Structures are given as C-alpha cells and as structure tokens.
Structure 1
Amino acid sequence: MLQLSEIWIYPIKSLGGISLDAATVLHRGLEHDRRWMLVDEEGVFLSQRTTPKLALFNTAINGDYLQITHKSHEGEGVEVPLFPKFNLDDEKLTAVVWEDSIESYEVDTTVSEWFSTILNRKVRLVYMPEDSARKVDPKFALTANDITSFSDGYPYLIIGQLSLDDLNARMSAPITIKRFRPNFVFTGGTAYQEETFKHFKIGSVSFFGTNACERCVLTTVDPEKGVILGKEPLFTLSKYKRSGKNVIFGQNVIAKELGNILVGDIITLFSNNE
C-alpha cells in the first residue's frame, strides 16, 4: 500500500518549508507554494544554490498571514498577507526564473528592506499574482495550459520514503528529506518507484508524473545551518541515479484536477492508458 506521509510547501522560493497535515491542490502547485520569491536588483531570483544562507529563513502560516523569521535574529520578523491585494496602478516588476520572465509585484518595501539588511545586499520580495501564467516545459506538459509557480519548473515533486532510506544506506551519514524539498512523501512500495508513476491519485485527486527530477548543488546545503557541507548526496547519487549527464532523485508531477489532500491518503496507481 502506498500512503501519503508528508505534505510540504515552500511559500518563498528557496526559504524554509512548512509541513502540513492537509493542503489544497491547485494547477500551479499547492496553495501558497512558491508564490513569493526574493530577487536581486536585476529581478533575477535568489536561490540556495548561490546563497545557501537563505535556508536560515523560516516561514510559518498564522491565520491569514505568512510569517518570516531568521534563525540568527530571534525576536525579529515580518509578515505578509497570504492573499495580497494589488491595485491596477501598482507597479509590476519582471521577475526572472531561469529562462522565464514573470510579471510580479513587490510585496512591501519595508519587508524587502528587512531581507536586504539580513542578507547584506539589495533584494526585493515579489509575489506572483493570479493573472501571471508561467507555463510548464511543453515537452512534459499534459496540455498547453499547464502552469507552475516560482518553482524550478514543475508544480509538484514526489519522493518515496524508501528512496531516501536506500540513499541513506549508501552514505556514511544520513540526511533528511528536507535536502530535496518535495511536496509529497509517501511510504510503501519500493525504492524509486515514484520514477515510474504516470497517472495516479492521492486520495481522490488525480496527478500525472512527467519526468525524473534533476538534482543540483542545492541538495548539498544543510537546511539547519545554511551552508554547503560537501558533495553529498550528489556524489553518491551520481554513482547509480543518473539520466544522461544529470543526477536524478524524485519525480516531477502535474495535477490533473483540483481538490484537497490529507496526510494518510492512499495513493492509487493506474496504467498508462487510464
């Protein structure tokens, strides 16, 4: 039996995640997942790949607000509305994620200044509004209308607990699932079974697996310390989990329909033609 064991969202791209017991499935990702992002003065996204200390920012949901704190600044923090409202005359900014340029809004100059002070560089916190439609790579999209948020490329990522267990058994020191920033973790089945997922349901909500997730240096960042610790887990994964020149771990996923999911939901697999 395959069973959903963890649900994660990462409201601000590359900052700390939030573990949930239940979540709402939307076409561009789980509700509130990667709808915010830090950008530099040119509008280019910040990531733990080049700024590992982003991992030291924690996020939490409190009522209708997203709260952001930093591990080295106890007692300080900022909050932003979970459902921000912007006026027609508010300035739109162009935020860049890889090759994509997305129309966005700066959330609040005071919030941007708080981040800039801690990071010691000029940054802005931006939000992706509903009318910004960032398309999924057409090579793997189900339809021409499939969209995602500020994620690296796909709205969802799923990983089996047994896959992590198998990886940890090959390394001298185990790591946690936080290194891989999945949306869904499940128990049961076999290691790396998620790579075979095509059509499947979590509870009553349908999803489709698209392609294996290519992994990068971000997985080498310790999420508790905000530093790159070495070459693991990429070094170990490179020995046995490759697709061409790329290291892979986990499966990218697109939602076929909207709905709600809960930790404990059963995952049902269907044949490729269903």
Structure 2
Amino acid sequence: MTSVEFEARIAALWVFPIKSCAGISVTQAVLTPTGLVHDRAWMVVDAEGEMLTQRELPRMALVQPELVHSGTGVTELVLHASGMVALHLPTVSVQGASPQARPTTVRVWDDAVPAFDMGTAASAWLTEFLGESLGPLRLVRFDERHKRVASRKWAQGVEALNQFSDGFPVLVASTASLDELNTRLAQQGVDAVDMRRFRANLVLSGVHAHDEDRVGVMTLDTDTGPVQLHPVKPCPRCPIPNIDPDTGTSAPVVSDTLQIYRQDARVNGAVTFGMNTIPLSGVGQTLRVGQVVSAPWSF
C-alpha cells in the first residue's frame, strides 16, 4: 500500500542536550544531519572515557540542562539540580576554543569518538550530585568534525549521522502509544507515566497506538519546504523507562507491562517503543509543534 493514509501532527518536540539527563521541551527546532540541533551533543563519562547513562546512575534523570541563547546562537550550557548551585559552562566550538575544554577520546557503545572535555568544574559538579560510586565523572562535548555513522544495515545504505545518540538521529513516538501503555498500567492500579521516560524527539498526535511502527517515509510540512524522515528501526528498550524522571527511582512495572505486548520480531523479540528515523531531506529546516506529518503505510 503506497497511498498517503497516515496523517499526524507534531504534538511535542524534545531536545536532550546531555545524553541520559533531562530533556528540554521546545516549540521549534532546526533539523541537522545528526538530529535536532544540540540533541545528545554532550555526554557524561567516567575517568576512562566510557559512556554513562541512567542504567548506571539513575539520578542523571534529575540533572536539568538549560541552553542559553544569544544573538549568535547558544552560548552557554547550564546545569541545574536540586540542592546544587547552577553551573554555567561555555559551549565549545569545533575547534575547542574554550580554554576550559581539551580534546579527548570517549566511547559511546562500540564507537570510540573524539570529543572535548568540559573541564574540572563540570567534573566536580557532576561527581558531587551523582556520587563517587564510579569514580570522578566528566562531561564531554561531541567533536562535530567527526562522522559517527549509524548502522548502514538498518539505514539501508544511507549515511545517517549521530552525535551521542544510541544509534540513530531522531526518535519518533506518539501520544496514542503512551495512552495504550497507561491504559494497561491503570488496569494494574499503577499511576500513568509520561513521555519523558521514552526520550522521544518527535511526539505525534492524531494517530492510533504504534502507528509510527507501520509507516514508510514521513513527510513534514515546514514553512520553507518539506522534511523527510525515514523510519528505519524500532527502538529496543532497556530499563531506563522504569526510572521516574521526577525522583530518579526505578520500578520494573513499565518494562514488565511492555513485555506483555511489545515484543518485536524485527529486533529478535526485543521490547520496543518508538521508531528510530533518519533524515532523507530537509536538513536545515525548522520543525515546529503543530506541523503536519504524512506517510504511506508500510506493512
């Protein structure tokens, strides 16, 4: 079936500047080759440069980044957390011009990539708030000169780029998919959860539960031309959705509930929620809440 039968609207846009820390809800965002601008541009690592996430440090969910804008773009990354004085960090250009930053190499999953260490103040702040169980922590920024390429198998030969995202530039989910989960949680007497647990960049409304799993190339109507996002891989889920983004505490009920009805043969039976997508066209365009998204069905 190739006719356009799927139509939705962007209900929310989320940018996650620091991998596995809290996100920022925005009304608009520029699409770059690596996803929404500033998404997963920073990452927390241990002293050996290994990626750290909420899997190891659930309190990362309580670190709230802020991006400070000026006439020349984003000039500061500010870290906020309960009981901590806000930490203001200058952003780092691709040349690493900030005196606080030094070139380093870090690992995100199996990829060793160049980055810039954001300095001792960031290290001390993160280590104080997140604890010393894993030794001194560091904050790094991705070196934008480096091409970290997504799996060509899943991207079907397209050169799709990432910064510190798990594997693909843009994650799409829908309000209906979340509603389906919350209906099942309510049947167990469990309070509803919100989309922050699933860390999607684009949240769609006006569709049925998990319709995003079953469509071909998504076309987004922007003010200056169309954007095309190709859904390429269902998003397998680790235990992070079990972590309450307001408390940093974990309970297995979300994963246990998804296990009942969200095993996906396309990823060897893994539990999935949301679709990883890659840009095919429209890099540089601005996505906005309320824009129409259309696609052909793909079964």
TM-score range for the pair, normalised by the shorter chain length:
over 0.9
- In the alignment, the residues of structure 1 paired with residue 258 and residue 128 of structure 2 have an alpha-carbon distance, to the nearest angstrom, of 37
2:37 to 31, 35, 43: 31
Segments of structure 1 that go 5 or more residues without pairing to the other structure are none
What's the CA shift for 1:119?
Answer: 2.2
Q: Which residue of 2 aligns with 1:51?
A: 57
Q: Which residue of 2 aligns with 1:97?
A: 108
Residue identity in the other structure for 1:79: H
Q: Which residue of 1 aligns with 2:152?
A: 138
Counterparts in 2 of 1:271 and 1:165: CA distance versus 1, 3 Å: closer
Q: C-alpha root-mean-square deviation of aligned residues, in Å?
A: 1.8
Q: Secondary structure at the match of 2:78?
A: strand
Task: Using the TM superposition, name which of 86-95 and 4-13 deviates more.
Answer: 86-95
1:10 to 4, 9, 16: 16
- In the TM superposition, what whole-angstrom CA distance separates every residue of 1:148-198 from its partner, at most 9, and x where no partner exists? 110111111101111110111011321101110000101112110000122
Residue identity in the other structure for 1:227: T
Segments of structure 2 that go 5 or more residues without pairing to the other structure are 1-6, 70-74
1:184 and 2:180 are equivalent in the alignment: no
Q: Which residue of 1 aligns with 2:278?
A: 254
Residue identity in the other structure for 1:77: A
What's the TM-score once normalised by structure 2's chain length? 0.85
Residue identity in the other structure for 1:267: V
1:58 and 1:71 in contact (8 A); partners too: no
1:81 and 2:105 are equivalent in the alignment: no
- In the alignment, the residues of structure 2 paired with residue 128 and residue 187 of structure 1 have an alpha-carbon distance, to the nearest angstrom, of 32
Q: Which residue of 2 aligns with 1:222?
A: 244
1:42 and 2:45 are equivalent in the alignment: no
What's the CA shift for 1:88?
Answer: 11
- In the alignment, the residues of structure 2 paired with residue 110 and residue 132 of structure 1 have an alpha-carbon distance, to the nearest angstrom, of 26
What's the CA shift for 1:271?
Answer: 6.0
What's the CA shift for 1:135?
Answer: 1.1
2:24 and 2:66 in contact (8 A); partners too: yes
Residue identity in the other structure for 1:115: L
Q: Secondary structure at the match of 2:19?
A: coil
Aligned residues: 269
Q: Secondary structure at the match of 1:194?
A: helix
- In the alignment, the residues of structure 1 paired with residue 68 and residue 98 of structure 2 have an alpha-carbon distance, to the nearest angstrom, of 28
- In the TM superposition, what whole-angstrom CA distance separates every residue of 1:202-233 from its partner, at most 9, and x where no partner exists? 222111000110001011000000111x2121
What's the CA shift for 1:114?
Answer: 1.6
What's the TM-score once normalised by structure 1's chain length? 0.93
- In the alignment, the residues of structure 1 paired with residue 102 and residue 295 of structure 2 have an alpha-carbon distance, to the nearest angstrom, of 45
Identity of matched residues, %: 30
Residue identity in the other structure for 2:116: Y
